[in-house]
Amino acid sequence: MDCLEPPPATFRILSHSIHFISIPIYCLALYSLIFIKSNVFTTYRIFLIWHVSENIFFEMYSAFFLAPALHAPFVVMRTTGILSHFGINSLVQFYILTFSIECSAVCISEMFYFRYKASLVSYKDHYFTYFLRFLVYSTRCFAIFDFIFPIVTYQDANKFQQIHKLALLQQNPSAQFLRCDSVYLLSAFADYVSIIVLSFWIVQFVVLCVAIPGAIVYITLNIPKSTSETTWKVQQQLLKSLAIQALIHAIMLGGPNSLFILALFLGYNSEELAYSAFLSLIYHGFISTFAMIVFTKPVRHHILECLKLRKTFETKGNSLKKSNQGTVTT
């Protein structure tokens, strides 16, 4: 078969058509975050710039450079994007994908830790700080490990890939796509590389699913109301924006990760569901960035001002308010 045969047309249309919306949104968000003049979240916006930049990279990489094709019921990913056309090994492409997801996890944990310290004046006196600090440091270590381990074990991992694909091909002679170098086979605990990678993957996934909601609840219940009303409202608003972004990541990253883990152990038969999971992965960053714009007031106002829309909205709002007041008086 043609190893570079693209995935189904429906997936390609869906994975590329949304770029016409997502790319302008990314550009607006980055422009606003870079040039906005605000004393409210001077440092926090650096985290937002990092997060939006990571989202752009992940979307572009997944849609154009990776372009995965799937073959149910086998847990394989055949890469058909730009990197495969240049002969880049599927193992390398898979490692780049996982490291990018890891960077997203690091960014989210760092944003929560910063928001936690900014929201609680005496955060060092809270026992929850030790847990959150452990989570952040662990995520950093996972990211470093996820960068170094694939490099150190590349030769062994590549050898294991060839062995596992050959064994699977012997069991399923019709699956000729397994002969392609652009195919990455996910094997559950079949060798020491997959054991270590999957163990770290599952542990971190579970920890983040528990820790992030816990952090949101704890910060919400412990934001000091003794501060000025304006400061308290800003803290609440920024926390709300971060919580919504975390929820989006939990659904659009956590959902596909759960499905991939289940597919490893239980198998799967629906390619449509698998492609839907990949679409969720690809566009989680776009939805998260859009939510950040909508629910982060300084960013939203700056974008409206850039688009010359804020004054228009304010004028309409004031006119409507006066009209309502006049009606009540009458």
Taking only the tens place, the pLDDT of each residue in 133-177 is 888 898 899 999 999 999 999 999 999 999 999 999 999 999 999
Tokens representing 221 are 């219940």
Can you tell me the distance from the alpha carbon of 104 to that of 249, in angstroms, rounded to the nearest whole number?
A: 9
Can you tell me the distance from the alpha carbon of 197 to that of 156, in angstroms, rounded to the nearest whole number?
A: 13
Task: Give the pLDDT confidence score for residue 197 in this predicted structure.
Answer: 87
| pLDDT tens sequence across 228-275 | 666 667 667 777 777 787 788 888 888 888 888 888 888 889 999 999
Assess whether pLDDT exceeds 90 at residue 68: yes
78's enclosing H/E stretch is: strand 74-79
Assess whether pLDDT exceeds 90 at residue 91: yes
% of the chain at pLDDT higher than 70 = 88
Can you count the helices (H) and strands (E) in the chain? Answer: 13, 3
Quote the CATH superfamily of domain 9-314.
Rhodopsin 7-helix transmembrane proteins (1.20.1070.10)
- The dihedrals phi and psi of 71, each to the nearest 5 degrees, come to -140, 90
Nearest Cα to 193, choosing from 171, 165, 226, 160?
A: 160
Assess whether pLDDT exceeds 60 at residue 111: yes
Q: How many residues does the chain have?
A: 330
Angle between helices 229-252 and 254-266 (to 10 degrees): 30
321 CB burial (10 A radius; 0-12, 13-18, 19+): exposed
Assess whether pLDDT exceeds 70 at residue 107: yes
